[in-house]
Structure 1
Amino acid sequence: MGEHRLVSVEIDDETLAASGPDAEHERRVAIFDLIEENSFEVLEKDVGPYVLHLSMQERKLVFDIRTEAGEAVHIFLLSMSPFRGVIRDYFMICESYYEAIRNSTPHQIEAIDMARRGIHNEGSELVAERLEGKVTVDFDTSRRLFTLICALHAGQVRAAR
C-alpha cells in the first residue's frame, strides 16, 4: 500500500453518537471496508498515510485529517445539505430492497438492487465532487465514504426519533 491512503477513521462520539448497537455495527463495517482498501490523497500535502477524524459541527461533517503521528494536515467542513436527497432516496430504496428479499421474485429483487446501486453511485459521485480541490479519491473510495456518511446519518436519524 502507498502513502496516499487512510489507515484509521475515528468518529467523535459527542457529536456523532451512534443511536444503538445496530448503528454502531453499521459504522464499524463501513470503517473496516474503507480502511481495508482506499486511495486518499490530500492535495498539496505528501505526508500520508492519514488518520481521518470525523465530527459534526452545525450540520456540517468535519474532516480533520492528520498524520499517523497525530500532526494536523488539513481540516475542512463538508455541508450535508447536498446529500439530504440522495441519502433519503438511498434509505428508501434500501428499505424496498430488504422488503423485496422477503416477499418478491428474484427478478423484482434484481431490479430494485440495480436501482439501489445506481443511487449509491450517485451519492459516490457527489462525495468525489464535494471533496474536489481538497482530497483526491478514487471511485471505490468515494463509494466507501458515501457508505460511511450514510451509516453516520442513520445513527443521527435514529437518535433524533
Structure 2
Amino acid sequence: MDKQLDSFRLCSVHLDSQSIQPATADIEHERTVAIHDLVEENSFHPVGHDEGGPYQLFLSMVERKLVMDIKLESGDQIATHILSLTPFRRIIKDYFLICDSYYEAIKTATPSRIEAIDMGRRGLHNEGSQILQSRLEGKIMTDFPTARRLFTLICALHWRG
C-alpha cells in the first residue's frame, strides 16, 4: 500500500458503552461486522491534519448526536466532531423498512422482486452515504466506499432488531 494512503486511514473504531445503547447478540454482531469492514478498507483524512495517521475513531452519543473523537494510533488527540443525526432520521427509518421488506421477500418473492427491493435498498444506502459525506465536509475527507461503511455503522447503532 502507498505510504501516503496508508497514513490517512482508520486503524480502529471504538464504541462508547456508556452512551451507546446495549444491544442484542445479533445487533452486536452487525456492529462488529460494520466496524471490521470499515477498518479493513477506508480512506479517512481529518481536515487540517496533513501529517497523517493512522487514526483511531471513538464514537459516542450525546443528546442524540454522534460524537466522533479522532486520535492518532498513539492516542494523541486530533479532533472531535459532533454530528447531528437529525438529517439521517428519515433515511435510516426508510432503510430499515426496506431491509425488512427485503428479508421478507427472500422467503417467498420472485428473484426479480427481490432484486428490485435490493436495488431500492442500495439506493437508500447510497443516499445516506452522500448525506454523510456532505455533513462531514470541511471536517473529515473520505472516499465514497468509506462513507458507505460509516453509514452502515451509523445504521447498526440505531438498529433495534
TM over 0.5, shorter chain:
yes
Structure 2 equivalent of residue 120 of structure 1: 125
Structure 1 equivalent of residue 36 of structure 2: 32
- Displacement of 1:148: 0.2
Unaligned runs of 5+ in 2: none
- Superposition pairs of residues 9-24 of structure 1, within 5 angstroms: 9-24=13-28
The residue matched to 1:101 in structure 2 has which SS?
A: helix
| Alpha-carbon separation, structure 1, partners of 2:22 and 2:107 | 27
Q: Over residues 45-101 of structure 1, what are the superposed CA-to-partner deviations in whole Å (9 max), with x where a residue is unaligned?
A: 023110000000011000000001111000010001000000000000000000000
Normalised by the length of structure 2, the TM-score is 0.94
Structure 2 equivalent of residue 6 of structure 1: 10
Query: Does 1:52 pair with 2:57?
Result: yes
Amino acid corresponding to residue 77 of structure 1 in structure 2: I
Structure 2 equivalent of residue 67 of structure 1: 72
Normalised by the length of structure 1, the TM-score is 0.94
Amino acid corresponding to residue 17 of structure 2 in structure 1: D
Alignment RMSD, CA only? 0.9
- Superposition pairs of residues 82-161 of structure 1, within 5 angstroms: 82-154=87-159, 157=160
- Whether the 8 Å contact between 2:45 and 2:52 is mirrored in structure 1 is no
* Residues matched between the structures, number: 156
The residue matched to 1:66 in structure 2 has which SS?
A: strand
Amino acid corresponding to residue 7 of structure 2 in structure 1: E
Percent identity, aligned pairs only, is 57
